[in-house]
Amino acid sequence: MDVVAYLLSNPAIKLSDSSDPEVDALRHIRVGLAPAFVAFGTQDVWKPGWDVLWQKLKEQGNTTTEVWLAQGQPHGFCNKDPWMALTFIQLDRFLVKQGLLKGEPGISQPATGPMLIRSE
């Protein structure tokens, strides 16, 4: 069975993972990876490792990864509202875009308050 999408929330990626080829995400980057949804808080201690991986993905020409950032939030930010709801809304939209779900998200975007920002 092939992977059709990766759904990553605060993935724990660190540069020292290079000592273990099974967990070193940088070794597994290649052209043609399945689309990915990634959510990170900008203050997450694991984000520097992700930033290196994200750069390599872009260098490989990846255009199917969506990265969403929660300004000022730490690791695990999306385990509590309003961030949980905001993350699920964007995740739902991503899955619709991939043809894996249909329709609109089942929860509404708050009119005011914090927002996830798409990283380019």
pLDDT tens for 69-78 read 999 999 999 9
- Tokens 């993350």 sit on residue: 87
pLDDT of residue 116: 93
> Global pTM?
0.85
16 CA to centre of own chain: 21
- Do the Cβ atoms of 26 and 56 come closer than 8 Å? yes
Confidence of residue 102 (pLDDT cuts 50, 70, 90): very high
Mean pLDDT of the chain: 86
Distance CA 68, CA 89 (A): 11
Q: Is the pLDDT of residue 112 over 70?
A: yes
Distance CA 80, CA 56 (A): 30
Where is pLDDT greater, at 16 or 11? 11
Confidence of residue 111 (pLDDT cuts 50, 70, 90): confident
Distance CA 75, CA 11 (A): 9
Q: In the chain, what are the domain boundaries? A: 1-13+47-120
DSSP designation for 100: S
| R_g (Cα) of the chain, nearest Å | 15
